[in-house]
Amino acid sequence: MKRRCSWTTLVMAGLLACLSAAVEGRADMFVCDDGRGRMHFTNTPTGQNCKPFTPRQKFIESPRNTFRVRGDASLSGGVYRGGASPASYDHYIKQVGNMYNVDPYLIKAVIRTESAFNHRAVSCKGAQGLMQLMPGTAEDLRVENPFNPGENIDGGVRYLRSLLDTFDGNLILSLAAYNAGPGLVKRTGGVPRIPETIDYVRKVLINYRMYKTRGG
């Protein structure tokens, strides 16, 4: 949801497919080469050249303006900076996730990426709270106090649910829309070629896989 202040010049051909509910508690992700030099995420590898995506991988720009995978990337998504323990929000996350049919591990991955579980976090663009709601979005969602963890999580998950519905359950596009806005994702027909948004989607997916693997 929030937009960070730093920008670099990168171009991305596309992150495609949807990460669905995991089997046996794991979010198995693969990165596949479509044969034309483009890479995409999927949880259902095809006959294409697909390799497991692990938290130690990251994307770099290639000479063909696409992305490939290389290792040695640290697990990203923010570091807990004090205040209430991240586990103290689990009851809110589980309750709201069940209410709106959103995987609690996904919610937790978004919160970790957005605010590192700092319910008082404010971005340079003015996004607020655990799920970094912009003031206008919070108002539309009728979130009176975005720094209240319960209200913020409820509003953020309702917004994420609406994006999942808008993009037919495509998690990659929904996460891109959470960061860059649904209008821009619709206009571009995919993940916008914005370095921050590309990195944001990657971080949420890494954190999501981590929580699914470790059981929270």
Residue 196 a catalytic site member: no
Closest Cα partner for 143 from 108, 133, 59?
133
Give, to the nearest 10 degrees, the angle between helix 149-166 and helix 90-100.
30
Active-site residue, selected from the candidate residues 114, 139, 144, 196: 114
Going by their DSSP bridges, the two strands 30-33 and 39-42 should be labelled as antiparallel
Residues with a catalytic annotation lie at 114
